[in-house]
A and B are shown apart, each in its own frame.
Chain A
Amino acid sequence: MISSLLPRNLRRTLAGQLLALAIALALGAVVILMIDENPLRVFATLMRGAFGDSEKIAGTLLQTTPILICGVAACIGLRGGMFNVGIEGQLFLGGFAAAWVGFSFALPPVLHVLVAVAAAVAAGAAWVSVPAYFRVRFGANEVVSTILANYVAVLLTSYFTIFLFKRPGGWSETPPILPSAYLPELFSFSRLNIGLLIGLALAVATALFFRFTTTGYAVTMVGSAPKFADYGGINVRRAGFGVLLASGAVGGLAGGVETLGVHHRFMEGFAPGFGFDGLIAALLANGSPIGTIFTALFFGALRAGSLLLEVDTTASREIITVIQALIILAVSADLLLRRKGDRTGGRRWKF
């Protein structure tokens, strides 16, 4: 059954993405040479930093979790033809909402987690609802509106943290959440928690949803051929609104998982770039939630590996940002090539 969840043109997709990756790494090697480092050593250190021992692997998976959940959020949007670039903002608000429930209320253990997660989901959905409404009601481009909403979200949570809920003392962070709201950890030696399992389950569930439910079918058709869906009697606007809302909700969930599982409080700028990394992971996986598991793992490994990179080599952690950017460039160039070859047109993103 799993095989039917993978993209139909899997081989071509894989070949294309691997090629993009190779080009990006080659360009990255050039950049590393320019700072007088040995690319092979840098890549080897990266690998060691990401997968060197079980603690390092757990660290990689810890970084992978929010990227994966954000990636699933992006997949949901892409499948319905919506480009939700606001996952970062939804992540921040979801994280804050979960933390707020976590430190403000005293609830029994399991219930506390559920309420906090629900608050995160609701916050993400609420945050995207305004751009979503403008999109379906007035045709406002959701790329622009969700990207702008990110700035507001990040600054809004900063404001809450600094002016309303600041813990006495130095850091810009809220009081810690109660232990009853902690997500259970998986191992004693790492902060890795069941958030990873939530992400994996979500990815599989999303893939199954799109493949086997009538609603998933309708949404897929709206995404891939909106005029056809309209003609066939599917309410294109309602589907678009629902898709953005679901995408935002999952984005909020990612933030909730991060605060409840890792930081146990909300800190200003607590999860920089996870939303964008998730979006890129989803694009790299061609919008397939199952594929996103692997691309998210790749980005998680890059992030985790870069920590050791800074210790063991003269290359700075920013080199990872450069390599990531190169990967994005190479992958989007591949996207463009494929769109050019798609003569039927009418489709903004191809999967």
Chain B
Amino acid sequence: MDIAVQLQGITKRFDAFTANDRIDLSVRRGEIHAIIGENGAGKTTLMNVLFGLLQPDEGTISVNGKPLVVTSPAVAIAEGLGMVHQHFKLVPSLTVADNIFLGMEIRKRGLIDRKAQIEQARTLSRKFGLNVDPAERVAGLSVGIEQRIEILKVLARNARIIILDEPTAVLTPQESRDLFATLRSFVEDGMTVIFISHHLEEVMAVSDTITVLRDGRVVATRGKSELSKRELVRMMVGRDVSFDRRPRSPGSGRAVLSVSDLWARDDRRLPALKAVNLSVSAGEIVGIAGVAGNGQTELAEVLSGLRPASHGSALLHGKELLEHSPAEIRARGLAHVPGDRLARGVDGNATLSANMLMGRQRKQPYSRRGLIDWRAVDRETKALMQRFDIRARGPRDLASSLSGGNIQKVVLAREFTAGGDFLLIDQPTRGVDIGAQEAIHSEIMRQRADDKAILLISTQLDELAALADRILVMFEGRIMGEIDGAAMDEESIGLMMAGIDPVAAAEVQ
């Protein structure tokens, strides 16, 4: 068997924490090898070790059968390795070609030969079927194209083994499918692809071999055909987890929120919401689907009073909520789980108690006559930590010392117990482990059973499919259409997310 990458006994420790524990991994030439695991399972650490960004404490690496000490990425690149990071590292003010050849510019008499660069970039993009215009500036290009540029950067450095870290996190379903087709063509060409993911569907869809990591150890390496989705989840989480559609009974249907003809601008003063109409009833979960950055954040901010609307109306219990302060809207029944939980949802430098206190600091028993009773706050925080399974040593821990999933549970605990009957939930499980995701979903369903009206914004379609009664799709600030949550059809949602009306698309075909 022809082995492209062989890792043996790789151990990497950060102080007392062991991120990789005696990991063995062998990747055959010409396969797509997925590395899957929860956050903190050690996937990215392992790839950084392979790419020379981190030095292992123990273990050996060999590439193309040759033992190798990867002291820096330069060594890895020289051996034909290339890595596409989770967060793109492009210079927006430069052209596509400039970005591709950044650091290895084609020079003529000491000056950059832009023409030759554009020419070569064009050849490269044609050869690998990655369609980009090399003369265009990166600023303003879509995320999907940015990713192509990142891949071209790697290809321009003659990589034959390509590592991709969470490549689909920012893509639409269509863009993901394009990416997978590209990866497929790479391996047909004899190249090797290693990609990291915690997204089950895509791993099952694209990979040949799957290695599952949990708590820094390899659980198993198997061929895809030997695995089912259920087994994969069990290996990742260590127990059975279900993301099937949640059973439900009809809610009371009492109208809670009704938004009509709502317009708003984003931070650059460009229209971010365009004539948005929607309504949410008690005991109903209305999902908002869409690629990030299509107005969902602005919608949440307008409804919570954090951003002014330019036009329209939003009635909460029949009363206008626009032009009111966040405090007033909260007093009328809004609870808000913000999408950017580190900036808005918590103060990382404050204790869990101080975070739980937000919004209720003037209420008994937390305070009396303007004086805070920190003991009562700690007591309540402890109770919430128990109820929402927040893993921390105690209420005096700093929020920033918790994992992403636990921070999110702090936000949920505070908001879901604030007494509001309209829940505005933005990206509840972004960056959250599968095990915690299931718990968060269960809590959202409990809130639904309590007859709360829920507006759920998510970029993850499987989340919406599991939870939402109705799904609205947003594209460039507009609601493109509505889909019944029980009969969700990924194809037409994907088209709407890309701004294409599925009915019109069908007619064209």
Contact = CB atoms under 8 A, between A and B. Distances in A.
A217 B343 contact: no
Interface of B: 304, 306, 325-327, 330, 336, 338, 342-350, 354, 357-359, 361-362, 367, 370-372, 374, 398, 400
B339 to A, nearest CB: 11
A235 B330 CA distance: 13
Contact of B327 (A215, A225, A235): A235
Contacts, number: 71
15 contacts: A213-B372, A217-B354, A217-B357, A218-B361, A227-B343, A228-B343, A228-B345, A228-B347, A229-B358, A231-B326, A233-B325, A233-B330, A344-B400, A346-B343, A347-B349
A233 B359 contact: yes
Most chain B CB atoms below 10 A, which of A217, A230, A235, A347: A217
A301 interface: no
A213 B370 contact: yes
Contacts of A346: 343
B327 A217 contact: no
A87 to B, nearest CB: 25
Contacts of B362: 214
Contact of A233 (B326, B347, B371): B326
A344 B349 contact: yes
A230 B306 contact: yes
A227 B358 CA distance: 12
A347 B354 CA distance: 17
A68 B345 CA distance: 36
Contacts of B325: 233, 235
B349 A214 contact: no
A344 B327 contact: no
A224 B347 contact: yes
Chain A: number of interface residues, binned into ranges: 20 to 34
Interface string A336-348: 0000001010110
B359 A224 contact: no
Contacts of A260: none
A221 interface: yes
Contact of A213 (B343, B344, B354, B371): B371
B372 A232 contact: no
A225 B372 contact: no
A195 B506 CA distance: 83
Closest A-B pairs by Cβ, 3 of them:
A233-B327, A225-B347, A232-B358
A283 B304 CA distance: 36
Given A224-B349, A231-B336, A347-B349, A214 B372 contact: yes
A225 B350 contact: yes
B367 A224 contact: no
Contacts of B330: 233
Nearest to A216: B372
A242 to B, nearest CB: 14
A230 B347 CA distance: 12
A218 B372 CA distance: 11
Contact of A225 (B336, B349, B357): B349
A113 B305 CA distance: 47
Contacts of A224: 347, 349-350
A228 B343 CA distance: 6
